């Protein structure tokens, strides 16, 4: 297999010197050196290997309609703490070849590729290095434009679940069709699109579990309308029966006798006019986890996820707003606690306050209100022991709720500020299964002052009041940018309200960055608060740690 890697690398290098072509190279390195801290318990593995580094080199070659690319990865001596332990050593992460004739509407890819059908409830393969996710599909993908209004995608392969060519046992295959109805009707004052998808997974484990069907399929249909002011879209997804994977006494096991179907329903609505915008997202899910290997279901590293199920809540900007973050709950759970899925939604309202008014001031201001509510599906136990929902719109145990108000105002040509208040309810017992319910309030004030267009100072102050978990926090950040190249910061959040005086800790950090062109270098030292880190509504756990961090990104 290594000889194949060398052939691919050589091919890319040789092609880069031939004719009029374009080669893009991207490099990213994220390193940490963990140090002993008498206040924080360091992971035992970090004591053995205190230096950890995740490194990526991506090379893409373009000529006419052809593309060839690869991504080499190195995790040395091991990956950063709490990344998938299968990520180790140096190897090829992804490799692909693509023919994309956009004039004729033909797009063919062989090797690793990323794809999304609709909102991703049926299929999404993507990479997010901050979360340690790379679930690219290794196989083939064929896209064709049948008509100016109609596009079709066919794909199949195995999913990346570890390093490079560590692939899933299950085979993933699918088809997707998108039809632009407005193109057929020759309308220009609105957009109306229809889509349908099919995704299947074939994993034959009948030797171990004779009663389990090797095939599990997901089918979805969707419709989207976008007008001058109003937009509305909906998607319905159905998943055929599959054996339930559940955790009991710390062990994940398959339960063929609890095989059941799944479904999801998503509605997005928006309204926009001058100075005002509002959006609403509603979703109901029932047993919608879908993995390329059944036994990966619910794993801590998000490995092998076929579909994309983010939490539909606002992604907040400030540290204390992200202590209690909601994770979507699509999984069927029975052994530890009874869960069948989730139901709820979120809303966002944006209003531009007019100038020369009390709240708008001389330069104008923005008022933003958002909120969300999520609950489990109300369930009942059937005679065979399985769980069933009592009704399509029946709400069960409350999982999460938040409401936030944000006021952004520019006071002069040089100074602007943000005032924000957030109220949360977090059912940690059901979201993290650690038995706690928390009510919290967070207040944030931020000021930004520009000395000149390329030089500024920013100060933020935060406070959280909480009646559970680790109780009250206070925090702040001071950031100074002397010019467009350098940036320096000091940050601290202090858990002064902890019931244990020995755990009333400061999670401090100090650092800076240098940017020139497409190159950025950042370094810092401090303590990392343990808990969930989320990107785009998908989360992973990070441990508490103290140490040095060095990040490098560049493109050429």
Tell me the domain boundaries of the chain.
1-104, 130-303, 310-556
Question: Residue 54 burial (CB < 10 Å; 0-12/13-18/19+)?
Answer: buried
Is the bond into 77 cis (omega within 30 degrees of 0)? yes
Is the CB of residue 70 less than 8 Å from the CB of residue 9? yes
Q: What is the pLDDT of residue 248?
A: 63
Residues of the chain with pLDDT under 70: 1-19, 247-251, 335-336
Q: What is the pLDDT of residue 21?
A: 87
Determine the Cα–Cα distance for residues 187 and 90; give it in Å rounded to an integer. 53
pTM for the predicted model, two decimal places: 0.92
487-516: buried (b, 16+ CB within 10 Å) or exposed (e) per residue? Answer: bebebbbbbebbeeeeebbebebebbbebe
Fold of the domain built from segment(s) 310-556: Porin (2.40.160)
Q: What is the pLDDT of residue 148?
A: 92
Q: What is the pLDDT of residue 411?
A: 96
Q: What is the pLDDT of residue 256?
A: 82
Nearest to 376, CA basis, from 308, 430, 435, 307: 430
Q: What is the pLDDT of residue 249?
A: 57
Is the CB of residue 167 less than 8 Å from the CB of residue 160? yes
| Phi, psi dihedral angles at 220 (to 5 degrees) | -140, 155
Q: The tokens of 248 are what?
A: 């009991």
Q: What is the pLDDT of residue 345?
A: 97
Q: What is the pLDDT of residue 386?
A: 77
Nearest to 424, CA basis, from 452, 447, 443: 443
């Amino acid at each position: 297999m290594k000889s194949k890697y060398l052939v691919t690398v050589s091919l890319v290098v040789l092609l880069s010197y031939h004719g009029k072509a374009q080669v893009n190279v991207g490099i990213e390195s994220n390193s940490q050196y963990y140090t002993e801290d008498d206040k924080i318990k360091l992971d035992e593995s970090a004591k053995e290997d205190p230096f950890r580094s995740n490194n990526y080199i991506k090379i893409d070659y373009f000529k006419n309609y052809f593309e060839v690319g690869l991504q080499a990865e190195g995790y040395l001596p091991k990956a950063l703490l709490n990344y998938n332990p299968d990520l180790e050593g140096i190897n090829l992460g992804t490799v692909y070849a693509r023919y994309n004739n956009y004039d004729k509407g033909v797009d063919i890819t062989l090797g690793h590729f990323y794809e999304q059908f609709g909102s991703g409830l049926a299929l999404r393969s993507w990479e997010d290095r901050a979360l340690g996710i790379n679930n690219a599909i290794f196989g083939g993908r064929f896209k064709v434009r049948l008509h100016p209004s109609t596009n079709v995608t066919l794909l199949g392969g195995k999913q990346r679940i570890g390093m490079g060519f560590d692939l899933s046992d299950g085979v993933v295959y699918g088809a997707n069709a998108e039809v632009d109805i407005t193109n057929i009707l020759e309308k220009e004052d609105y957009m109306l699109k229809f889509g349908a998808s099919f995704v299947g997974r074939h994993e034959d484990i009948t030797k171990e579990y004779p009663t389990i069907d090797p095939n599990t399929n997901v089918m979805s249909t969707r419709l989207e309308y976008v007008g001058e002011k109003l937009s509305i879209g909906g998607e319905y997804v159905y998943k055929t029966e599959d054996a339930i994977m559940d955790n009991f006494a710390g062990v994940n096991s398959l339960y063929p006798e609890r095989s059941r179907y799944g479904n999801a329903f998503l509605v997005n609505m928006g309204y926009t006019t001058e100075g005002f915008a509002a959006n609403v997202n509603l979703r109901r899910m029932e047993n919608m986890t879908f993995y390329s290997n059944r036994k990966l279901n619910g794993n801590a590293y998000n490995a092998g996820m076929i579909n994309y199920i983010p939490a539909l809540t606002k992604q907040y900007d400030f540290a204390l707003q992200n202590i209690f973050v909601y994770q979507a709950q699509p999984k069927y759970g029975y052994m530890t606690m009874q869960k069948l899925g989730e139901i709820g939604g979120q809303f966002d309202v944006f209003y531009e306050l007019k100038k020369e008014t009390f709240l708008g001031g001389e330069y104008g201001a923005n008022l933003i209100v958002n909120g969300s509510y999520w609950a489990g599906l109300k369930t009942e136990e059937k005679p065979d022991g399985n769980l069933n929902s009592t009704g399509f719109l029946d709400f069960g145990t409350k999982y999460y709720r938040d409401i936030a108000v944000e006021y952004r105002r520019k006071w002069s040509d040089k100074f602007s500020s943000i005032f924000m208040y957030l109220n949360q309810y977090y059912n940690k017992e059901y979201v993290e299964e650690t038995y706690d319910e928390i009510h919290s309030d967070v207040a944030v004030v931020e000021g930004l002052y520009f000395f000149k267009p390329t030089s500024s100072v920013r100060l933020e102050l935060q406070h959280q009041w909480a009646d559970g978990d680790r109780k009250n926090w206070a925090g702040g950040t001071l950031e100074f940018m002397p010019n467009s190249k350098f940036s320096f910061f000091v940050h601290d959040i202090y858990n002064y309200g902890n019931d244990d005086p020995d755990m009333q800790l400061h999670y401090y950090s100090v650092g800076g960055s240098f940017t020139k062109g497409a190159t950025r270098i950042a370094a810092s030292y401090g303590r990392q608060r343990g808990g969930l880190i989320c990107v785009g509504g998908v989360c992973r756990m990070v441990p508490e740690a103290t140490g040095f961090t060095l990040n490098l990104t560049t493109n050429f």
